[in-house]
Each structure stands twice: as C-alpha cells, then as structure tokens.
Amino acid sequence: MSNLGQKGETPLLMPPPPPPAPPVYFQGRDSLEPINRKTLLARAKKGEVIVLDVRPAEEYQAGHLPHARSIPFADLEVRVSELPKKTDIVAYCRGPYCVWAGEAVALLRDKGFQAVRLEDSVHDWRAHGLPVSTGDTP
C-alpha cells in the first residue's frame, strides 16, 4: 500500500521534459570539416565548388566572396534547380550567427545536395586580406 499523498509525505515529482532540439543551424556544426579560405577560393575559381551567397541581392551587390553565386535564402527553394547536384556547395551569409546559411544547407541536403556552411562573412574575408568582389550576379 502506498503512502503517496498522505499527510507529511513529499509527493513524487516528474522529471522535467527534455529541452527541445536546437534549431537546425546549430546542429552538427562540430562534424563539419573546416576548409582553408585560400583553398576555398582556389576551388571556387576552378569550378570545383559553388560558393553560395544566401544574403539579400543588395548585400551581394555591395560585396561578396569572389566566384560566389547569389541566391537569396528567400528564393532558394524555387531556384534550387539552378544548382548542379554533383558539385559541392558552400553556403554563407553574414557570419557565424546568421541563420540563413545553416537553413540553406539543411534545405540543400534535404534535396540531395552536398552542402556545408561557411561561418565567415564578407567582412571576415576582407579582414583576412582576401579579395572581395562587387556588382551583379555572375
């Protein structure tokens, strides 16, 4: 016979529910292999990788990584067919706290692309003495 609920008895407490899963842009970041900036630049120049700028078009025009292709995140789902499936994609936006690149990687992976996120922003790129391009989409 249980004493639960009797006077002077401490009721049993249920453990709190587990915390919700972190948003997709914070998941799996430790499993990503970093790429050297200069190596990325060389691979993009050779067409071995697509550097995808998912910021708004105005930001792309003001300054972007060399050889980058602009597809703003808001347009990515309808324009995903413009990207070749057999080429690796490196998505970037405004830096490590910008969620668009992470969300773009998740969308691309769901559609069968090999995609990773670059934490650098255009400002980070410039701060490391690397070139930045301006103007319209190539």
Measured CA to CA, the distance from residue 87 to residue 65 in angstroms comes to: 18
With H, G, I as helix, E, B as strand and everything else as coil, classify residue 73: helix
Is 98 marked active-site? no
Measured CA to CA, the distance from residue 132 to residue 111 in angstroms comes to: 30
Measured CA to CA, the distance from residue 48 to residue 95 in angstroms comes to: 23
Of the listed 41, 65, 93, 104, which one is catalytic? 93
Active site (catalytic) residues: 93
